Amino acid sequence: MPAMSSLHHLPQQPRVPRMTSRPDDDACYLALKARDARFDGCFFIGVTSTGIYCRPVCRVRAPKRDNCRFFSHPAQAEQQGFRPCLRCRPELAPGLPAWGLSEAGRGWSIQDSSSILALQAARLLDTPPAGASPALGIAALARQLGVSDRHLRRIFEAHLGVSPLQYLQTRRLLCAKQLLTDTTLPMHQVAQLSGFSSVRRFNAVFSDNYRMQPTALRRHHGGAQAGLGLHVKLAYRPPYDVDAMLRFFGLRQVAGLESVSATGPLPGLHKTLRVNAGGQHYSGWVEARFDKAQCQVKLLISDSLRDVVPAVMRQVRAWLDLDADPQAINELLQARFTQGDGLRVPGTLDGFELAVRAVLGQQITVAASRTLVARLVQQFGEPLETPFAGLNRLFPSPDSLAAASPDALGQLGIVKQRQKAIGAVAQAVVSGTLQLSPGADLDKTLSALLALPGLGDWTTQYIAMRALRWPDAFPSGDVALHKALGLQGRKHAAKEALAASQAWQPWRSYAVIRAWAELP
């Protein structure tokens, strides 16, 4: 936190610590009065005169300083009896980065095992139930983490200031609040998707905590937007270089699978996707459009994915890197990469798809890789009806590529080494020995990837960066990276790049994106 003498220099981007310590009240109040979106999700304000808690971007008149209480997480505010604001909607605030980071990265300490445990628990609790999947309870969470209930509660409360149960309940309630406000989903489905065991239990908890019936909240907002699909909103912290993100996806877009629209008042992209949840398979499409003025993504989800809406919302947040904290990243990288403040790390909606595309992109140009992916999609991808012209196929499933013959892949121009790699990745995903999603065990996943034929350090690091959402991935052997760093053609370019990257930890994934962006 900046010293008290620097608190009046808000444009210099004072830092609000996240989770490891309570936000400094004076800096928070300055950000609140400025309605500074850079702090959205970094803290929340409870107003004692109204009993309401808000985001720092709330458009209502700033309350008196003496009436403000500041919290690092909505669960802390709700534990103190505050209710979420119906205007700024705390459920829309950007979340925390997916991985624990060092204090230099303004997050958790990677050396502190208790911090790691608490963060892992919070990340698992943040993962919404999907379809028929049951919500993760505290006892099951403790077993999954290999600790006792008592130890988990003690560590969790020490680092987050609330119990795991309170954290989980707040997450469920805010999920329900967003679904009630943004969608027309029936009440029983809202309760199920939010993780409640029954509508009766949902109604009781909602009314007890928010002093409002769920049906009254829906009436208050006048009903959700009618028409095609389900409309929801997702916020992000500025700066966000929307044009750069869309250029990245535009260069790699494959006909039938995705499309990018970089013009118009709300530029964005369309994508087909497959979601596996509770032993069931769901397929559909999403449309994501950026509202730069509101620092929001307007998300449209196909009706075929209504049973997994919270899971899709979370996947989109990772896909577009909406939870990044640019202030913390810029503090470390801006000295070397002066023009990349708004750059984010492009993710994926499907870790398996990203892994296959990474294999096909080994040692060839982006254009050549796109050609191979397009052939693979046309040959093995399932057809899908969508309302968007040219968006009509799903990426091949792991089962279909695991069963694909070498001859069938060879006819598409895929060389033998990559045939083996694709088959090995597909079989590992089908068997469940490989998980390619944010929150997967990093060391275990990296080791599993490196053990597969045809996957080296570059491919593994690239997958970690985009599919696992690891902020400190670094493909040191990347030729384009060498060129950007002025190391092209050197005998030990990879070692030199790796040595230089130590100064950019724990944000090396962002350093890679910034380096690539410097290339002509």
Tell me what the mean pLDDT of segment 389-403 comes to. 97
HSE at residue 443, side-chain half, CA atoms within 13 A, is 0
pLDDT tens-digit series, residues 191-250: 999 999 899 999 999 999 999 999 999 887 765 666 789 999 999 999 999 999 999 999
**Catalytic residue check, 54:** yes
Task: Please give the residue that has the higher pLDDT: either 11 or 497.
Answer: 497
CB 288 within 8 A of CB 299: yes
Q: What is the overall mean pLDDT for the chain?
A: 89
- pLDDT beyond 60 at 451: yes
- pLDDT beyond 90 at 284: yes
Tell me what the mean pLDDT of segment 423-428 comes to. 98
Residue in 54, 58, 88, 295 annotated catalytic:
54
Amino acid making up residue 181 = T
pLDDT classification of 125: cutoffs 50, 70, 90: confident
- Looking at the chain, the whole-number percentage of residues with pLDDT higher than 70 is 89
What confidence score (pLDDT) does residue 122 get?
85
Residue linked to tokens 């964005």 = 268
Residue in 24, 350, 472, 478 annotated catalytic:
478
Cβ atoms within 10 A of the Cβ of 486, count?
10
Question: Going by DSSP bridges, is the β-strand pair 268-277/280-291 parallel, antiparallel, or unpaired?
Answer: antiparallel
Q: Which residues contact 280 (CB under 8 A, 6 or more apart)?
A: 131, 132, 307
Tell me what the mean pLDDT of segment 29-49 comes to. 95
**Catalytic residue check, 295:** no
Tell me what the mean pLDDT of segment 75-84 comes to. 97
- Residue 231 CB burial class (10 angstroms; 0-12, 13-18, ≥19): middle
SS3 call for 33:
helix
Task: Please give the residue that has the higher pLDDT: either 342 or 6.
Answer: 342
SS3 for 460-475 is HHHHHHHCCCCCCCCC
